[in-house]
Amino acid sequence: MNKTIGILGGGSWATALIKIICDSENTNRINWFVRNSENVEYIKKHRRNKFYLSSVELNIDRISLCNNINDVIKKSDVLIFAIPSAFIKNALSKNKFSLSDKYIISAVKGIIPDENLIFAEYFNQKYKVPIHHIGIIAGPCHAEEIAGERLSYLTVASENSDLADSVGKNLKTHYTKINISDDIYGTEYSAVLKNISALASGICHGLGYGDNFQAVLVSNAIREIKRFVDTVHPITRDIKNSAYLGDLLVTAYSKFSRNRIFGTMIGKGYSVKAAQLEMKMIAEGYYAVKGIYEINKKYKIDMPITDAVYHILYEKKIPKEEILKLTERLT
């Protein structure tokens, strides 16, 4: 499958993906949509993204940069979305082209606010993109370590094995290894849920809980993720694989995890608004917990960690009291 790739998004993960694909021997040229026109010109001139991963030198000779989303969509066969889930709808509001004949890949790891749909479901239902034209890029992987070319593993999930293999080849470098999966729903829901768990981990860290408790929290979190994905999309999967457990671990523990950072601020007494303003980056778990909480009204799965985070962030419950209640539910 020899297709032209377009990257949509100008943040750290989009920049990391651009670096990976440029470093791959299997890619010729990439189309890149960056919303900020001044940043487009800066990247062209300085070969760096001024705002994200600014230490990374980009191979501009292999990149077609523009701030017009329609140009990238028109010229690309495969569209990799690295726009935060909260901004997907707005970004596509200017799109003039059908997406039903495109291959759509999510690197978002979030849920579409107000729709309560993961990326694959949203593009399938809203834009009539066939499921076999959709794929997911999952971790465990932080953009900051990609910038430093530290060995990382990515999972590409799709029910279309040819699509997954093709995208995987474009992501394979000397510092990235690729796993292929057909579990598109489980992989994506797990990527959403691990952000919620990382928020919980951060909140507990901010409150002063130590490593012993964090180990219990995360072991309960992977079981909570398994209960949810096995109920919503019951297929045979090994929840201990890196796309599930590995992604949870790095997001819950890493100093680069914006969800853990956001949660730590909440645990230390920041309001949601204050934490968002100080971070200047999107913590996907904030939007995800509301969507998952509402989805679970239908399934009624036992999800004490998700419930606790929702109560703290959206019902303004006192973090110390809510986490104390949570400690009685964990095993």
| Per-residue pLDDT tens digits of the chain, which is 331 residues long | 678 999 999 999 999 999 999 999 888 889 999 999 999 999 999 999 999 999 999 999 999 999 999 999 999 999 999 999 999 999 999 899 999 999 999 999 899 998 999 999 999 999 999 999 999 999 999 999 999 999 999 999 999 999 999 999 999 999 999 999 999 999 999 999 999 999 999 999 999 999 999 999 999 999 999 999 999 999 999 999 999 999 999 999 999 999 999 999 999 999 999 999 998 778 999 999 999 999 999 999 999 999 999 999 999 999 999 999 999 999 9
| Closest to 15 in 3D by CA, of 64, 56, 45, 44 | 56
What global pTM score does this model have?
0.95
With vertex at residue 86, the alpha carbon angle to CA 65 and CA 272, rounded to the nearest 5 degrees, is 125
Q: What is the token pair recorded at 287?
A: 């939007």
Q: What is the pLDDT of residue 26?
A: 84
The pLDDT of residue 27 = 80
- For residues 45 and 120, the answer to whether their CB atoms sit within 8 Å is no
Say what the pLDDT of residue 271 is. Answer: 96
Q: How far apart, in whole angstroms, are the C-alpha atoms of residue 299 and residue 80?
A: 31
Q: Are 136 and 113 in contact (CB under 8 A)?
A: no
Whether 177 is a known active-site residue: answer no
Do 103 and 155 touch, CB atoms closer than 8 A? no
Contact 290, 236 (CB under 8 A): no
Q: What is the pLDDT of residue 75?
A: 96
Query: By 3-state DSSP, what share of the chain in percent is helix, strand and coil, each rounded to 5?
Result: 55, 15, 35
Residues counted in the chain: 331
Q: Which of 109, 172, 194, 290 is catalytic?
A: 194
- Going from the C-alpha of 134 to that of each of 80, 90, 184, 309, the distances in angstroms are 10, 20, 8, 30
CB atoms within 10 A of CB 35: 18
Instruction: Give pLDDT, residue 25.
Output: 87
Q: Residues with Cβ < 8 Å from 121, sequence gap 6 or more?
A: none
